[in-house]
Amino acid sequence: MHIIQQLLFILCSGIAVFFFAKKVAEIRRNINLGRDEDITDNPSARWKNMILLALGQKKMFKRPVPAFLHLAVYAGFIIINLEILEIFLDGILGKHRLFAPMLGNLYPFLIGFFEVLAVLVLTSCVIFLIRRNILKLRRLNMPELNGWPKSDANIILSTEIILMGLFLTMNTIDLVLQSRGVEHYTQTASFWITGNFTWLYSNLSTATLIGIERTCWWLHILGIFLFLNYLPFSKHLHIILAFPNAYYGKLIPQGEIKNMPDIQNEVLYMMEPDKAPPATDAQPEHHRFGAKDIQDLSWKNLLDAYSCTECGRCTAVCPANMTGKKLSPRKIMMDTRDRMEEVGKNIQEHKTFQDDGKSLLNDYITTEELRACTTCQACVEACPVSIDPLSIITQLRRNLVMEDSNAPQEWNMMFGNIENNMAPWKFSPDDRDKWVEELAG
Partner 1 sequence: MQVRSMAEYAASGETPEVLFWVGCAGSFDQRAQKVTKAFATILDKVGIKFAILGKEEMCTGDPARRAGNEFLFQMMAYNNIHTLNGYGIKKVVTICPHCFNIFKNEYPALGGNYEVMHHTTFLQQLINDGRVRIKEGGAFKGKKITYHDSCYLGRGNNIYDAPREVLQALDIELVEMKRCRSNGMCCGAGGAQMFKEEEAGTTRVNFERANQAMETGASIVAVNCPFCTTMLTDGIKNKEKEDSVSVMDIAEMVAASLA
Residue of 307, 241, 231 whose CA lies nearest to 17: 231
Measured CA to CA, the distance from residue 36 to residue 299 in angstroms comes to: 6
Q: How many angstroms separate the CA atoms of 327 and 369, rounded?
A: 4
Please report how close the Cβ of residue 415 comes to partner 1 at its closest, in angstroms.
Answer: 6
What count of other Cβ atoms lies within 10 Å of the Cβ of residue 47?
A: 12
Least separation, in Å, of the C-beta of 419 and partner 1?
6
Binding site for partner 1 (CB under 8 A): 62, 252-257, 259-260, 263-264, 266-268, 271, 289-290, 317, 319-320, 322-327, 368, 371-378, 380-382, 394, 397-402, 407-408, 410-411, 413-415, 418-419, 422-425, 427, 429-436, 438-440
Which of residues 308 and 320 has its CB atom nearest to partner 1 in the complex?
320
State in angstroms the smallest separation of the CB of 89 from partner 1: 46
Q: Which is nearer to partner 1, 305 or 400 (CB)?
A: 400
Shortest CB 268 distance to partner 1, Å: 7
CA distances from 302 to 40, 172, 298, 361 (A): 17, 45, 7, 15
Shortest approach of partner 1 to residue 264 CB, angstroms? 5
Q: How far is the CB of 36 from partner 1 (least distance, A)?
A: 18
CA 88, 89, 94, 98 torsion: positive or negative?
negative
The residue among 294 and 378 lying less far from partner 1, judged by its C-beta, is: 378
Expressed in angstroms, the distance from the first to the final Cα of the chain is 102
Q: Which is nearer to partner 1, 138 or 434 (CB)?
A: 434
Residues forming a β-bridge with 35: 298
Nearer to partner 1, 233 or 415 (CB): 415
Residue 169's identity, in one-letter code, is T
Shortest approach of partner 1 to residue 427 CB, angstroms? 5
**Cα Dmax for the chain:** 103
Write 408-416 long-range contacts (CB < 8 A, 24+): 408/371
Residue whose CB is less far from partner 1, 295 or 394? 394
Chain centre distance of CA 408: 34
| DSSP-assigned states of every residue in 402-422 | HTT----HHHHHHHHHHHHHS
Q: Which is nearer to partner 1, 37 or 356 (CB)?
A: 37
